[in-house]
């Protein structure tokens, strides 16, 4: 319960702040994080999708294109 209150307090700290007040990552940090994320997710990108998921995505695309 105490952790929930702490998280709420942290979240409320950012309300009303301007873009200049919010911490940002510098270019080197963004590049480093981007490379790390790519290393983590690249093996997943290479995996074949479940045929049921492919079928569902295709059905969603057909439904979307039919409603345009």
Q: What residue spans define the domains of the chain?
A: 26-68
**How many Å is the Cα radius of gyration of the chain?**
21
Give the global pTM: 0.39
Neighbours of 62 (CB within 10 A): 10
- pLDDT tens-place string over residues 26-54: 999 999 999 999 999 888 877 888 999 99
pLDDT at 46: 79
Whether residue 12 is predicted with pLDDT greater than 70 in this model: the reply is: no
């Amino acid at each position: 319960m105490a952790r929930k209150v702490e998280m709420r307090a942290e979240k409320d700290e950012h309300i009303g702040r301007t873009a200049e007040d919010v911490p940002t990552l510098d270019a080197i940090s963004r590049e480093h994080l981007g490379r790390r994320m790519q290393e983590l997710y690249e093996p997943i990108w290479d995996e074949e999708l479940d045929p049921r998921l492919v079928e569902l995505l295709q059905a969603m695309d057909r439904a979307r294109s039919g409603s345009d």
